[in-house]
Amino acid sequence: MSKIFAFSIRKDEEPYLKEWAAAHPEVEVDYTDKLLTPDTAALAKGADGVVVYQQLDYTPETLQALADLGITKMSLRNVGVDNIDMDKAKELGFEITNVPVYSPNAIAEHAAIQAARVLRQAKQMDEKMAHGDLRWAPTIGREVRDQTVGVIGTGHIGRVFMQIMEGFGAKVIAYDVFKNPELEEKGYYVDSLDDLYKQSDVVSLHVPAMKDNYHMINEETIAKMKDDAVLVNVSRGPLVDTAAVAKALDDGKLFGFVMDTYEGEVGVFNEDWTDKEFPDPLLKDLIDRPNVLVTPHTAFYTTHAVRNMVVKAFDNNLAMVEGQEPDTPVEVG
Ligand SMILES: NC(=O)c1ccc[n+]([C@@H]2O[C@H](COP(=O)([O-])OP(=O)(O)OC[C@H]3O[C@@H](n4cnc5c(N)ncnc54)[C@H](O)[C@@H]3O)[C@@H](O)[C@H]2O)c1
């Protein structure tokens, strides 16, 4: 009987793990809520493969500890593989999989909901209501259908975001370094980012963070945007120079900001800072602003997405354990 062991299983993942295990009675499944470290690796003893997900690095020592147990088949429940020591993984003969697409709708919906809330000044109205101010003015909304929405990156998530915004009636334009032929035929693409900035009331980022687009949203590019534009970043923190955005909000250049990802998020997001000194003054400043909606990298965090992350990771791992080609292998090395 094959055995798969999963690390750092959260409470919200447990039902989907149990669902997968029930559907695969031929596989022994065991798990822990502990992260995978050189010390905890031993928990997987006897397993043929492991299923993992953590921000913590997969160090040479961690990988060695697994390999010492004869385990070299590792399936990530997430996308990112940059915290894996690939040289060591290659040296030890690891086979690795990830889950590159688990629910584009989760992230696209979040972006759309938050953008619409900013346009509607929903946070201001909620705050007024909370202290008994039930007056309308000056908290007037802007309708989505009156906006031109500029989508940067028309991959899995960007495309769903475009559909949702069109459902609201917005005019949607897009930019991508690789044009999708179907979208191109329909005439969505503008020629340059400058064109997109110039025309858009809402600018939404759906591109990966790479060296060449570090701080692509900065003082200079914000200056190219329309007055009262709304910026949406549910992609990656390093795409945005956050201090420049704060300044543009101060100056009244930007109408609002949706931020689910933040350059300084590691070690800050997904922690409880209640009754503790808040570690990041710029982040605190943004959280406190009435026209900024901050969420701690939770755009992906839906039941649909979490189920897919667990189920797809286990499917991948079982394929490797059974000597078959997994759906989404990661290049090791
Ligand atoms: N907030 C969250 O919870 C969350 C969850 C998952 C993914 N994400 C992020 O969302 C983003 C998009 O994910 P996806 O699954 O749609 O990716 P994808 O690979 O399907 O699409 C990315 C698109 O961006 C384009 N692109 C790459 N570099 C570009 C550039 N410099 N300028 C313009 N276009 C460029 C690519 O051609 C591609 O079409 C990623 O940054 C990902 O990390 C966030």
Distance between CA atoms of residues 246 and 291, nearest Å = 11
Distance between CA atoms of residues 155 and 206, nearest Å = 7
Kindly state the average pLDDT of the residues 161-173. 98
- Residue-wise pLDDT for 254-275, tens only, equals 999 999 999 999 899 999 999 9
Tell me the average pLDDT of the chain.
97
CA of 107 to the centre of ligand 1 (A): 11
CA of 145 to the centre of ligand 1 (A): 25
- Quick check: 248 pLDDT over 90? yes
208 pocket-lining for ligand 1 (C-beta < 6 Å): yes
261 pocket-lining for ligand 1 (C-beta < 6 Å): yes
- Residue-wise pLDDT for 178-229, tens only, equals 999 999 999 999 999 999 999 999 999 999 999 999 999 999 999 999 999 9
136 pocket-lining for ligand 1 (C-beta < 6 Å): no
Task: Look at residue 64 in the predicted model and tell me its pLDDT.
Answer: 98
- Quick check: 310 pLDDT over 90? yes
- Quick check: 333 pLDDT over 90? no
Task: Look at residue 39 in the predicted model and tell me its pLDDT.
Answer: 97
Task: Look at residue 84 in the predicted model and tell me its pLDDT.
Answer: 96
CA of 240 to the centre of ligand 1 (A): 14
Quickly count: other Cβ atoms within 10 Å of residue 110's Cβ: 23
- Quick check: 236 pLDDT over 90? yes
- Residue-wise pLDDT for 130-155, tens only, equals 999 999 999 999 999 999 999 999 99
Quickly count: other Cβ atoms within 10 Å of residue 290's Cβ: 16
- Quick check: 102 pLDDT over 90? yes
Rounded to a whole number, what is the distance in angstroms from the first to the last CA of the chain? Answer: 31
CA of 231 to the centre of ligand 1 (A): 16
Name the closest-CA residue to atom 5, ligand 1: 300
Kindly state the average pLDDT of the residues 222-238. 98
Is the Cβ–Cβ distance between 81 and 312 less than 8 Å?
no
Kindly state the average pLDDT of the residues 34-43. 97
Q: What percentage of residues in the chain have a pLDDT greater than 90?
A: 98
- At 296, the pLDDT band (50, 70, 90 cuts) reads very high
Distance between CA atoms of residues 65 and 53, nearest Å = 17
Task: Look at residue 55 in the predicted model and tell me its pLDDT.
Answer: 83
- Quick check: 312 pLDDT over 90? yes
157 pocket-lining for ligand 1 (C-beta < 6 Å): yes
